[in-house]
Amino acid sequence: MDYKILDDVELGNNVQIGDYVILGVKPTKDPVNPPHQGKLIIGENSHIRSHTVIYLGNKIGRNLQTGHGVLIRENNQIGEDVSIGTHSVVERENIIGNRVRIHTNCYIPEFVVIKDKAWLGPGVTILNVLHPPCPKWDECGTGIVISENAKIGGNVTICPRVTIGKNSLIGSGSVVVKDIPDDSVAVGNPAKVIKKVSEMKCDLGYYEVPYEWESE
């Protein structure tokens, strides 16, 4: 296998690593004296697919799945049973809970909190700076929260300082510019709440309401 495991990398048992993966990259803000980030820790039974690059300082639970060409920058906290799809980017210092699914071509900037069982469809883009470029972006770029079990449709854009409530659903292509309450369906540009999740119907008739299987 043709991959690189650099210094300060700790792998659990039965981690599968594809070709051209690089684990343990140091950040290079200062190429002469790059800051020490601590170990990269990846839990057992993870599957790191080809061309994935993961930096130092990440603490990742068991059963991580990456698609091809995933980039995970430094100092993230990532829970168990997380899937990150092909060509997605996770920047530094995010908190990602357990059983989170991030699909293909998603962009997660710095300082985002994604809670347990959240689901991000393909092409979701999260933006964390109100007025880019901003010299204070490390201070103003915080505050984005995607709550437990929220579902974000494909090609949604989530703007800075937004909280998406627990169990909510954001329709595909929406632009979220303000907080979305728990258990809500929001669509459009800008996204507006149109109903409660409990008011949705399964158009194909497989279920009385969508997501009823989650209570099984």
Residue-level pLDDT at 141 = 84
**Mean of pLDDT values over 121-127:** 98
Residue pLDDT, tens place only, 126-175: 999 888 888 887 888 889 999 999 999 999 999 999 999 999 999 999 99
Which of the residue ranges 33-37, 93-97, 157-161, 187-191 would you say has the lowest mean pLDDT? Answer: 33-37
Closest CA to 108 of 136, 79, 122, 88: 88
> What would the two tokens of residue 69 be?
């060409």
Q: Tell me what pLDDT residue 210 has.
A: 80
Q: Give one DSSP letter per residue of 103-141, joined into a string.
A: -TT-EE-TT-EE-TT-EE-TT-EE---SSSS-TTHHHHS
Comparing C-alpha atoms, which of 48, 41, 54, 43 is closest to residue 68?
48
Cis peptide before 133 (omega within 30 of 0): yes
Candidate from 48-62, 84-98, 189-203 with smallest mean pLDDT: 189-203
Residue 152, beta-bridge partner list = 120, 170
Give the CA angle between residues 74, 70, 124 to the nearest 5°.
95
> CA 5, CA 69: separation in Å to the nearest integer?
16
Report d(CA 43, CA 167) in Å as an integer: 28
Instruction: Determine the distance from the C-alpha atom of residue 6 to the mean position of all C-alpha atoms in its chain, rounded to a whole number.
Output: 24
pLDDT at 215 over 90: no
pLDDT score for 63: 98
Q: Are 87 and 105 in contact (CB under 8 A)?
A: yes
| Residue where the block lists tokens 């829970």 | 79
Alpha helices (runs of H) in the chain, residue ranges in sequence order? 137-140
In angstroms, how far is the first alpha carbon of the chain from the final one? 42
CATH number attached to the domain at 4-215 = 2.160.10.10
pLDDT at residue 34, rounded to an integer = 52
Single pTM value for the model: 0.94
Per the structure block, which two tokens stand in for 37?
């980030």
Q: What is the pLDDT of residues 1-59, one digit of tens each?
A: 699 999 999 999 999 999 999 999 998 765 555 555 689 999 999 999 999 999 999 99
Q: Where are the domains of the chain?
A: 4-215
pLDDT score, position 11: 98
Catalytic residues: 131
CA distance 79 to 62: 8
What is the C-alpha separation between 37 and 76, in angstroms, rounded? 11
What lies within 8 Å, CB to CB, of 216 at 6+ separation is none
